[in-house]
Structure 1
Amino acid sequence: MNIAYWIVAGLLALFYCYAGTLKVIRSRDQLRPMMAWVDRIPLPALRALGTVEILGATGLVLPPLTGIAPSLAPAAAIGFVLLQTGAIAVHLTGGDRRIALNVVLTATAAVTIWLATSL
């Protein structure tokens, strides 16, 4: 289970670290081709969302790696499930039906929760 956690959580952390960094450093114009919804939220909220994603990615990796507060890893994964639930709602309310990635990320975060509780 330990190896499975590191594979799943590592991939999830890489994705969120990348996506969060893009949201923090890129402009709306640069993000628009990848994320059609960026015009519907204020720029400070977009930057905050990116920061939350980076912190969540850190929370998946550092606590189990260091052994300090390892209960933060499932908490970070729960946060990602909630984040993706909100993302699905934003997509659907905006008329965007492309939620396959969000569903996959939700399922991956749910598996991460299960794997983290068995560490």
Structure 2
Amino acid sequence: MNVILWVAQALLAVLFAGAGGMKIAMSPESLIPLMPWVVDFAPETVKAIGVVEVLGAAGLILPAATSTAPLLTPIAAAGLGVVMVGGTAVHIARSEYSAGLANGVVLAAAVLVARGRFRPRQTPDAIPTR
């Protein structure tokens, strides 16, 4: 299960770092062909979403990889899941159903990582015997 979680974390991190980086680096006018929903939001909101996504991407990898505050990894995954819930709602409201479905798949992956990494580790001493 650990390998599956790491693969999911890596894929999510690449996805969110790329999408968030585009939202930060590109102008709203440049984003419209790629992300038509940006017309419904202030440029500052789009940039803020990008910052959250980039920080979330870092949170998926760095704490678990360095064993420094590893609890931050499932928190980052849960936070990105919340972002995906919002994204799914926006796409459905705009009748962009295929984009909403894609967000739903990303949401499922984020939930998998959050659930898998929140799970307490059991040591042989912690396993009850009968």
Q: Which of 71-80 and 109-118 deviates more?
A: 109-118
Could you tell me which residue of structure 2 aligns to residue 61 of structure 1?
61
Amino acid at match of 1:114: R
The CA distance in 2 between the partners of 1:3 and 1:82, in whole Å, is: 24
Could you tell me which residue of structure 1 aligns to residue 81 of structure 2?
81
Could you tell me which residue of structure 1 aligns to residue 17 of structure 2?
17
Task: Answer yes or no: is 1:6 the counterpart of 2:19.
Answer: no
Amino acid at match of 1:75: I
Could you tell me which residue of structure 1 aligns to residue 124 of structure 2?
none
Secondary structure (helix, strand or coil) at the match of 1:68 reads coil
Percent of residue pairs bearing the same amino acid type: 35
**Backbone CA RMSD of aligned residues:** 1.3
Point out where structure 1 has 5 or more consecutive residues left out of the alignment. none
- In the comparison of the two structures, how many residue pairs are matched? 119
The CA distance in 2 between the partners of 1:88 and 1:3, in whole Å, is: 28
**Scaled by the length of structure 1, what TM-score is found?**
0.93
Secondary structure (helix, strand or coil) at the match of 1:70 reads coil
The CA distance in 2 between the partners of 1:2 and 1:85, in whole Å, is: 25
Bigger relative contact order, structure 1 or 2, given CA contacts below 8 A and separation 6+? Answer: 1
The CA distance in 1 between the partners of 2:2 and 2:97, in whole Å, is: 35
Task: Answer yes or no: is 1:71 the counterpart of 2:105.
Answer: no
Residue 13 of structure 1 deviates from its aligned partner by 0.3
Could you tell me which residue of structure 2 aligns to residue 114 of structure 1?
115
Residue 28 of structure 1 deviates from its aligned partner by 1.7
Amino acid at match of 1:112: V
Amino acid at match of 2:96: D
Could you tell me which residue of structure 2 aligns to residue 102 of structure 1?
103
The CA distance in 1 between the partners of 2:114 and 2:96, in whole Å, is: 28
**Scaled by the length of structure 2, what TM-score is found?**
0.86
Runs of 4+ in 1 over 6 A off after TM superposition: none
Could you tell me which residue of structure 2 aligns to residue 44 of structure 1?
44
- Tell me if structure 1 keeps the 8 A contact 2:74–2:113: yes
Residue 114 of structure 1 deviates from its aligned partner by 2.2
Could you tell me which residue of structure 2 aligns to residue 33 of structure 1?
33
Amino acid at match of 1:53: E
